[in-house]
Amino acid sequence: MNTEAEYSYAEPAPSGPSLHLPFALLTSALALVMIGQTLGTLNQKSDLREGRTQLGENTQKLSEAFTKREPLVKQSQELKKKLNEMIMDILILAKTDEDAKTIVAKYNIQQNLPASGDGAAAPAPEK
């Protein structure tokens, strides 16, 4: 008589393909995608920090350029004012002086109507 049991507690050999390999591949692929996304986000973060520092530097340079050019702007405004006064004098002189009339005709100097600063609309033409 045989003392060994007729049955065994050991698991039988798998009869079909295992599902462990597809899940392992899927998990590995998902991990690679997540690592790629994380690295991309870190690169964007560093680029944004660099951009912020450049923006601060450029803002400072712009304010310095503005303050350096402010005297030139004032000078050009004064020059424009003097030129307008001179042109007005020539136009007034052109009413009586022939030389002034020649200058006005040669350079086609015309008097523009001043723009209304109060924003009032021009009166509508009558019907």
- The pLDDT confidence band at residue 118, using thresholds 50, 70 and 90, is low
Is 115 within the bounds of a domain?
A: no
Is 9 within the bounds of a domain?
A: no
Containing 80, the helix (H) or strand (E) segment is helix 20-94
Q: For residues 82 and 93, give the distance between their C-alpha atoms in angstroms, rounded to a whole number.
A: 16
Is 95 within the bounds of a domain?
A: yes
Is 70 within the bounds of a domain?
A: yes
Q: What is the pLDDT of residues 12-43, one digit of tens each?
A: 655 667 788 889 999 999 999 999 999 999 99
Is 66 within the bounds of a domain?
A: yes
DSSP state of 118: T
| pLDDT at residue 112 in the model | 78
Q: What is the pLDDT of residues 54-103, one digit of tens each?
A: 999 999 999 999 999 999 999 999 999 999 999 999 999 988 989 888 98
Is 124 within the bounds of a domain?
A: no
Q: What is the pLDDT of residues 97-110, one digit of tens each?
A: 898 889 888 888 88
What's the domain count of the chain?
1
Judged against a pLDDT cut of 70, whether residue 122 lies above it is answered with no
Q: Which residue has the higher pLDDT, 5 or 125?
A: 5
Is 8 within the bounds of a domain?
A: no
Is 113 within the bounds of a domain?
A: no
For 77, the domain range is: 23-107
Q: For residues 72 and 77, give the distance between their C-alpha atoms in angstroms, rounded to a whole number.
A: 9
Q: For residues 91 and 84, give the distance between their C-alpha atoms in angstroms, rounded to a whole number.
A: 10
| pLDDT at residue 55 in the model | 95
- The pLDDT confidence band at residue 111, using thresholds 50, 70 and 90, is confident
